Amino acid sequence: MNPPTPNRSDIEGAEPLEVRAVALEEKVSAGSFDEIYRSHVSFVWRICQRMRVPEMNIDDAVQDVFIVVHRRLVDFDGSVPLRAWLYGIVSRVVADHRKRFRRKESAVSPMDSERNLGVETFASSLPAPERSLEASQALGLVEQLLERLPEEKREALVLSRLYEMTVPEIAAATGGNVNTIYSRLRVAEREFEALYATHLATGVSP
């Protein structure tokens, strides 16, 4: 089956009507809060994990996201894809958690801070012990290779390959143009593959 041709307005860089249509469809099909939770909790969880929310605070952060969703769902007008809307909420909630974490950290003594709430906690939040070593190593290597890409390409790859967002969702979440995101993602994918190939070829562990 041939892939559907793109919307003309997409090609010309005009307002992506296709995106809006999908968003409205999502609004109609968004269903109950419970369904949204079940369908998107993994998505939210993954973002919180990757945004360095400490393992012990992940539950709270995810719950805070869905409390906001619960409160605002009636106002969700479908003007953006549901996952782009969720991504915005997660980003704000995680930023808020970070602020609270910093306040809490500054309220304890430096020694306690180093021992229990060190600044590095955010930067070294590791997956839970039960996650396989292989998966953790894969994540570590992905992060290491992603660091070598410019910010915009890195962001596109993270949203696409780690959070599994579609290009229209990424465009809506980042305020970018759909066509630009397609191009950026394609180049980013090739560069990441090259970096990984080089890593494998040099045979040096990270």
Partner 1 sequence: MNDAMEKSGALFEGARRALEPTQEDIDRNHRALLAKIAGAASLAAASRFEAESAGAATKAVAAKSSFSLLALKIGTSAFLVGAVALTVSRVLPSSSRTTTPAAGTSALEVPPVSSDTPVAQQPSSALDVSELPSASNAATQDHSKRAIALPASSGVVRAPEESAVVSDEPLFEGSAPIHVSPLLAPELSLLQRMASAQRKGQSAEVSALAKEHERKFPNGVFREEREAIRSLSDCGAHVGSNEATLVRFESAYPKSSLGERVRKACAK
DSSP SS3 for 180: helix
Instruction: Report the nearest approach of partner 1 to the CB of residue 27 (Å).
Output: 7
- Candidates 15, 17, 63, 119: give the one binding partner 1 (CB under 8 A): 63
Closer to partner 1 at the Cβ: 60 or 113? Answer: 60
Instruction: Report the nearest approach of partner 1 to the CB of residue 23 (Å).
Output: 10
Of residues 125 through 184, those in contact with partner 1 by CB under 8 A are 127, 130-132, 134-139, 141-144, 147-150, 160-162, 164-170, 179-180, 182-183
Burial 82-99 (b: 16+ CB within 10 A, else e): bbbbbbebbeebbeebbe
* Tokens linked to 206: 């990270």
- Candidates 14, 15, 17, 25: give the one binding partner 1 (CB under 8 A): 25
Instruction: Count the site residues for partner 1 by CB under 8 A.
Output: 94
Task: State the burial class of residue 38 (Cβ atoms within 10 Å of its Cβ: 0-12, 13-18, 19+).
Answer: exposed
Closer to partner 1 at the Cβ: 117 or 178? Answer: 178
Residue 200 vs residues 87, 142, 158: alpha-carbon distances, Å: 33, 13, 21
Task: State the burial class of residue 205 (Cβ atoms within 10 Å of its Cβ: 0-12, 13-18, 19+).
Answer: exposed
Give the integer Cα–Cα distance in Å for 141 and 35.
34
Closer to partner 1 at the Cβ: 43 or 113? Answer: 43
Say which residue the tokens 């007008």 belong to. Answer: 77
- Candidates 14, 15, 70, 102: give the one binding partner 1 (CB under 8 A): 70
DSSP SS3 for 130: coil
Q: What are residue 131's phi and psi, to 5 degrees? A: -65, 145
CA torsion 81→4→158→177, rounded to 10°? Answer: -70
Instruction: Report the nearest approach of partner 1 to the CB of residue 111 (Å).
Output: 27
14 belongs to the binding site for partner 1 (CB under 8 A): no
- Candidates 79, 106, 124, 198: give the one binding partner 1 (CB under 8 A): 198
Of residues 29 through 58, those in contact with partner 1 by CB under 8 A are 29-42, 45-46, 49-50, 58
